[in-house]
Copies of this chain bind each other. A is one copy, B any other.
Amino acid sequence: MAPRYSASLRGCLPWLLLLLQSVFILVFLIFLPNDYGLQKSLNEYPVLQDVNVMIFLGFGFLFGFLKKFGFSGIAFNFLNAAIGFQWAVILDSLIFKNSTDLQAIGINSLKIGLMCTFPVLISCGVVLGKMSPLQLIVMTVLELPLFSANRYIMTSYLKMSNHNSMMHGHIFGAYFGLAVSWSMIPPLTGNKASEENEKSRPLSEIFSILGTLFLWMFWPSYNSILLTESFQLRNAIYNTFFSMAASTVTVFSVSSLLNQKGKLTMMNVRNAILAGGVSAGFIAYIVQHPWISMTLGLISGIVSTISFTYSQYTMNSITLIHDTCGIQGTFGMPGILGGIAYTVIILMADFGIGILSSQALVGAGCILLTLALSLAGGILTGLLLKCKLLRPPKEWHFFHDRPYWEFPHVDSHM
């Protein structure tokens, strides 16, 4: 019954982790500035903590929904985020050395570091349960520079704002993960054990709701943390609240509508309610009328629920892409929707004043750039992750804690 031990951990994982951590320390010692620069205020600290909770608790428990993968879902997310956060701070300090608003190391670096960890965790959701921790860490190490490059191109050459470039992380993370999943993992052959293990149970669903609720509640912080103008901040918070409320109501409606017996499905609801926040990230700070963000939330809710209900299971058999968490519906589609909404709103504002600025074109270009970079990078990363050295788990090890965790004190599982 218990899958055989996958042998990947003792061989490499401990040494890779120690090496990585030592390299991080050395880079800080040698390359990074020694003083933390001036710090205007610590008023942003509570918002920073909200984002911290989203990453470590929110994503961790969101990924705890598989009935036999609870430990791994929560703890590998934790490990990954702790690595990704440090690596993101380093990359940010090295790449954006000369751009003034990003340079100062301090609370600002923490903000950037935490925000950059989002796309990595989103990608991990796609391959949840199908990768060894070794592979996850290599993926994290490879994805972050690519995402930083994506942001660098957007902010430096396309003059996109720092905030908006970061919001493309939803699209980047989702499609990078899908590309990795496509290029690395062969279509599941339908192993009985792994199919059974991929299910959830009510208890693990409740843990997952807990994580989702933290993501949901603190999303206004995520959508406003990088904004500096006071009125943009206020708009972002206000509109995100309304967009999320609207998408929540819609999701319950559509989830019941799509079910033959009119019942609700927890997995749909849990995943799709975040859609309103994801899409609002692109436009919340520039919108002056709450009904616009509410309408976007309503559309996101519909798109996300439909996408989740129909695509997740058909995708596996048709496009050969397996998406454990339904990331395509939660982050991918709503992210693209948000990007399009941004372009439309800019176009309409331009139309209103009679001048056609290039900003709408830039908006569309950023989506395409992000899609191209994430898909190409994901495919290459996926090919690399197939490498035998990284000991990819066999299909019958999928979605199970047993290969990675010692259960000395436990008679039966859960």
Contacts and interface: CB of A to CB of B under 8 A. Distances in A.
Interface of A: 5, 7, 9-11, 13-15, 17-18, 20-22, 24-26, 28-29, 32, 34-36, 39, 42-43, 45-47, 49-50, 52-53, 56-57, 60-61, 64, 70-71, 74-75, 78-79, 82-83, 85-86, 105-107, 109-110, 133, 199-203, 205-207, 209-210, 213-214, 216-218, 220-221, 230-231, 233-235, 237-238, 241-242, 244-246, 248-250, 252-254, 256-257, 259, 261-267, 269, 273, 288-291, 294-295, 298, 401, 403-411, 413-414
Contacts of A133: 252
A261 B199 contact: no
Given A56-B213, A209-B74, A406-B265, A294 B24 contact: yes
B408 A10 contact: no
Given A201-B409, A265-B408, A406-B265, A249 B79 contact: yes
A9 B257 CA distance: 9
Contact of A410 (B5, B42, B199, B291): B199
A410 B200 contact: yes
Contact of A248 (B79, B203, B250): B79
A250 B405 contact: no
A10 B257 contact: yes
A39 B214 CA distance: 26
19 contacts: A10-B259, A14-B253, A17-B249, A24-B246, A28-B290, A42-B43, A42-B237, A43-B43, A45-B47, A49-B218, A64-B206, A75-B209, A83-B249, A86-B294, A106-B238, A109-B238, A202-B407, A202-B414, A206-B207
Contacts of A21: 246, 249-250, 253, 294, 298
A237 B281 CA distance: 27
Contacts of A206: 64, 70-71, 74, 207
Contact of A288 (B34, B45, B85, B107): B34
Contact of A406 (B14, B216, B261, B403): B261
Given A56-B217, A234-B42, A409-B201, A85 B245 contact: yes
A160 to B, nearest CB: 24
A15 B29 CA distance: 59
A406 B259 contact: yes
Given A36-B234, A75-B264, A250-B17, A216 B46 contact: no
A40 to B, nearest CB: 9
A327 B172 CA distance: 42
A405 B209 CA distance: 15
A349 to B, nearest CB: 14
Contacts of A213: 56-57, 60, 78
